[in-house]
Every structure is written in C-alpha cells, then in structure tokens.
Amino acid sequence: MPLELQLSLPLILILILSIKIVMVDAKFGNNKTLGFVTALAGFIVVFISAAFTLTISPEAIASLNAEELYSKGTITYGGFAAYFDMLFCVAAILTILAALPYFQKENSEHNAFYSMMVFAVAGMMLIAHSANLLSLFIGIEIMSISFYVLAGYFRTKEKSIEAALKYFLLGAFATGFLLYGIALIYGATGSLSLPEILTKIAADDFSNTYLTLGIALMLIGLCFKVAAFPFHQWAPDVYTGAPTVVTAFMSTAGKAAALIAFIIVARALFVIDIGQAAEIPDFQTNAIMIIAIISAATMLIGNITALVQKNIKRMLAYSSVAHAGYLLMGIVANSPQGWEGIIFYATAYLFMQIGAFIVLSVLERKTDKNLDLDDYSGISKSHPFLAAIMAIFMFSLAGIPPFAGFFGKFLLFTAAIDAGFTWLTIIAVISSMISVYFYIGLIVYMYFRKSNTYPLEADMGSAKVTLIISTACVVILGIFPSLIINLINNFF
Amino acid sequence: MSLTLLLFLILGVLSIASAIVTISSRNPVVSAMALVLHFFMLSGLYLTLQAQFVAVMQILVYAGAIMVLVVFVIMLLNLGDEKKLSEKWNIRRIVAILFAFVLAIQFISIYITNLPDAAFIPESAAFNGTVQAIGTDLFTNYLVQFEAIAVLLLAAIVGALLLAKRKIT
C-alpha cells in the first residue's frame, strides 16, 4: 500500500462509515440494535487504523513531498492527528455504549443518533488532520452541525429543543466571525495553507492590519467553540438541555476538537522560535495576552458560578467551562510543552467528564428527575459502586492526586510558569481551590448525608463498560502518566 | 477616483443599507426583498474582484433558489398585519448596540493607527475566477476538502430530517 493511503486510512474509513451507517439506518431502520453494532464496530476499526498510523515513523511522514500527494499538503498525517483520531473514537465508543441503555430507558428511538455521532467524529478527525484553514473550517462545521442536531435529539422535550435552537443560532453567528477571520488572514498572507502562513509571518511578508483583524475575529470564533469566557453563555443551557449522553460527548470530545483547532492555528500564527523571526510581532504578544486574560476569566467565572448550582448537570456544565480555561493555558504558554499539556489534560478530562456524566445518565429518570444534589444524598448506601466511581471522577476533576486530572493541571501550570505567566498560574490555582468546594460537596452529599428520598433505581446495562473503562483510565493515567507523556512527547 | 473604487463604494454602501433594512424592517416581505437586493449587491462586489463564477452562483443559488423558498415560507405562514413582528427597546438591545459601536471603533482605530499598505497584494491572491480556474483548484489542490463537503451536506440532510420528522409512538 502506498504510504499516503496507509496514513489517510482513518479518514477514509470514517468517511466510508458515515455513508454506510446512513444506509443501514435507511434499510434496516426497524432493527433496534443494528445501528449500534455498526457504529461500535466501525469506531473500533477506525481506532485500530489510527493506532496503526501512529506506528509509522515521523521521518517517513516528513519525507513525503506535499506536491505529489493527493491531499496537496492540506492534510496532516500521523503524530498528534492520529492520536486525536484515537481519542475521538474512544470518546464515541464510550458514549454509544452508555447511550444504548439511556435511550431504551427514555423510550426514544435511537438509530439516527449513531449516524450523527459518526458525522461528528468525522468532523473532529478532519479538524485534527487539517493543515489548511479550509479543511479546518469544514471540519468545524461538520462537527457543529452534528452537535446542533444531537443537542435537540429529544425533539419532544422543550428543554432539548431550546438547547438545539440556542446552540444553532449562536453557533451560526460565531461561525460568521470565524469565517470572516479566515478570509482576512487569507487576504493578509495570500495563503490558506498553515505552513505557508507560518513562513510568511516569519519572513515578515504580510499585511499587519488585516492579519491583526483576522486573528481577532478568528479568536472570537474559536473561543465560542471552546466556550471561553465572554462567549460561554450558551454552554450551561445547551449542556443542561441536551440529552445527558450527548452532553458527555459534546463537552469532552467537542472541547478537545476545538482545542486542537486552537493548537493548529496557534502553531501557524505565533512564532515560537525567536531565532527565526527578527522580532516577535506586536499582534502575537497582544493576542497571547488576550488569550491569557480570557483563560483567567473563564476559569474564575466557570468555577464561581458552579458553586451556587443545585442541579448537578448544570454544575458539571459550568465546571466544563472552567476546564476550558485551564486548557487555554497551554495556548498561552505557546510552547511544545504547553501543547503537550493540553493533549494530556484533554485526554484525562475526556475520561473523567464522560464518566461523571454517564453516572448522571444512569441515575437520571424521565422528565429530568434525580438531577439535583439532594437526590444524591446517601446514595453510597444504595449504590456503592456508582458512588465510589463518582467520587473518583470528582477527585480527578478537582485535580487531587493520584488521579489523572492532577497531572494534567501540573503539566499546564508548569508550562505557563515557564512561559512567564506566573500570575495566570496563581489564578488557576485559586480557581482550582474554589472548585474543590463543589466537587467535594457532591461527595459529602453522597457519603455523609442521610438518604431522605426513596432509593434511586439504576439500570446500567452496557453503560457499566463505559464506567469501568473511564475509571480505569483515570486511575491508570494518574499513577502512570508517563504512558501518555512518552507518546505525546515527540508530536511537536 | 477610479471606476473600480466608485463601483465598490456604490455596491458596498447599497449592500450594507439593504442588510440593515433586512434586519430592521417590521414587514417580512420587505425584509425578504431587501435581502434579494443585498445578494445582488454582493454578487456585484464579487464581479469587481474578478470572481465571475462566484458572482453568477450567488445570484443563481441565493437570489434564485433560496430566496424563492424564503418567500414561499412567508406566503405559507400567511402573516397578517396584526402579526407583524414587534420588538421593544430594552436594556439588552442598548447594550448590544453599544458593543457594536465599540467593535466598529476598534476596527476603525486599527485602520487609522496602522494604515494598510495599498500596494500590498499577495501573489496568489491575484486570482482568476473563471469556471476553469475554480474547477482546476477544486479537483487538484482542494480535492480532500471537496470530498469532505459531501459529508457536511449528508450530515445536514440527515440532521434536518431527524429534527423535522414526527414522533413515532
């Protein structure tokens, strides 16, 4: 097989899967589980092919001549792109395993759900693979459109419809900013290809005015997608209104995809090697300072608002806003170390947040019952397993060792300090302290309060697999973080 | 003043004016017609940039197909005079307009402090927008993106069907 075909195998397979799953839905729509089985098998195959491309040596990939490839250098192969392919597939597998019992409980037909999941993963993978602003934009759009639909999947529930509509209108507006930014960056540098933009910026061959405007507008679009401070208002409503399994997927894989878009753009627009450019351009120092302020504001606002929430789903939604703030610290650091911190933290965050939301989805009852803090009083008696793993996820989200969340925060904080942003790290530590209050608060409710209601029922079904895998990963990544760190060390 | 600049000014002013009419008009039919005017002005702007193909597509797809749909929907909804949309002035609106002004001032200040180099035209931006040029680019340089658009459209179609179909019980 030619090398390019081997390298693009995950992308090709996910495209085939996205067409196949629609046909399966159309032909065998009455079969309740065929869509699930197809999606699960498909994601596993894509995961294996991505793992295979990760074994191809970076030297062989670097030796490819972009002009002779079918992708003409618009697609990145191997490295972090392949790693994110695997991550998105894992997130999708964990989600659909939990979605099967969830939709049966909610009496909702769920075949089309798997099609939308495959589309969303296809979009995310395209984002991770893009070396060109055009593929980046198309990837973001595929992902966003799938998310708009997934958020409104319970189309008989008012809250779900509200979430979808809100997300769609605001998302379309943010897309306008993103596209305008891309157009201005193209106007300023004359190229959509990110490596070419980097060389032009390093060689000082660009129009400063338009590039500054373009970066500002693009920053707005990307900050909306990661739900960072001034553009985070949609996140709590959408995450609360959407079906819980969808929220689990959106707030983790969707955030990781938006962050990888951020990394890809930052790598092209911000010069890190000072020897390469005569001096760091003005727009770069300003943009990084703005991102630092956004990052600080995001984590403070997210954590402080999460403090007062009584609904656990809403609390986790605000905490996911705060985590976007921590993740942005890696962009602020603007160094390979910072990007690796983002990748590690995104991986850890994915498992702990999916796990926490899936515990909610298992205990949740129709019409949004059992989502309040009071409902969780004393569930350690009736559901010792669920309470124990929820406690692990909460400890990890709060960043308490020896769980995965701690090392993610550690890597990001050290990267920010090395880049000279000590004040940002201090704010991050303060806001982590604030977050401990409500994460541990939930544990207190679960373990140290008397159960005042009737015992909750829980039917886990295949969600049990999701919970066990997530817990195992949170613990293993916490004890042996070098497993992932060694892998991602040579990506940048 | 060169002819291109004159054309740009006329088209630009008209397109912004028609866009403002679109969002501020109380009557949906007037809004729709202003939007048609806006699309025509945009396609004129594309022509001044030598993007003939995009200009023609703009008229065919947007002013032609999509606006017919919009007008049909307005007709089927059968909005009477009494149902004309109305909106009150509230604090949110004032803040929104305030922020729009801040954004505009920021844009203008960037231009003033940092005047763009008029002679600066990046090489590859000098582009010939014929069908042939676009076709060649689309099927060589941007082949992967062209394929990816297919998934985007498929996702949009499946999603629209999913949200619109009735609940089967």
Nearest to A142 among B116, B142, B152 (CB): B152
Percent of chain B with pLDDT over 70: 81
Q: What pLDDT is recorded for position A176?
A: 92
Q: Which strand (E) or helix (H) includes residue A263?
A: helix A255-269
Say whether A138 and B140 touch across the interface (CB within 8 A): no
- CA–CA min distance A155, chain B (Å): 7
Say whether B107 and A213 touch across the interface (CB within 8 A): yes
10-residue mean pLDDT series, chain A (492 residues): 80 89 81 82 91 81 74 81 91 89 75 88 92 91 92 82 89 92 87 84 77 88 88 88 89 91 88 61 83 91 88 88 90 86 91 90 72 75 83 88 85 87 89 88 83 66 84 87 82 76
Q: What pLDDT is recorded for position B127?
A: 60
- Judging contacts by C-beta atoms under 8 Å, the chain A residues touching residue B140 are 72
Contact predicate A477/A484, CB 8 Å: yes
Nearest to A135 among B117, B145, B158 (CB): B145
Q: What pLDDT is recorded for position B125?
A: 47
Please state, in angstroms and as integers, the Cα–Cα distance from residue A352 to each residue in A411, B88, B108, following that order.
17, 45, 45
Say whether A213 and B142 touch across the interface (CB within 8 A): no
Q: What pLDDT is recorded for position A127?
A: 92
User: How many pairs of residues across A and B have Cβ atoms under 8 Å apart?
Assistant: 102
* Helix B28-48 vs helix B3-24: crossing angle, to nearest 10: 160
Give per-residue pLDDT as tens, B108-140.
Answer: 877 777 665 555 555 544 566 778 888 888 888
- Asked if pLDDT for residue B169 goes beyond 50, the answer is no
- CA–CA min distance A38, chain B (Å): 17
Closest CA in chain B for residue A71: B144
Nearest to A209 among B114, B155, B167 (CB): B114
Helices (H), A203-254: 208-226, 234-241, 244-249
Interface predicted TM-score (ipTM) over 0.90:
no
- Judging contacts by C-beta atoms under 8 Å, the chain A residues touching residue B114 are 208-209, 212
Q: How many CB atoms neighbour CB A405 within 10 A? A: 29
Q: What pLDDT is recorded for position B153?
A: 92
Residue A260 to residue A253: CA distance in whole angstroms: 10
Q: What pLDDT is recorded for position A60?
A: 74
Residue with the larger pLDDT of the pair A434 and B107: A434
Chain B residues with CB within 8 Å of chain A CB? 107, 110-111, 114-117, 120, 122-125, 140-145, 147-149, 151-152, 154-156, 158-159, 162-163, 167-168
Mean pLDDT of chain B: 80
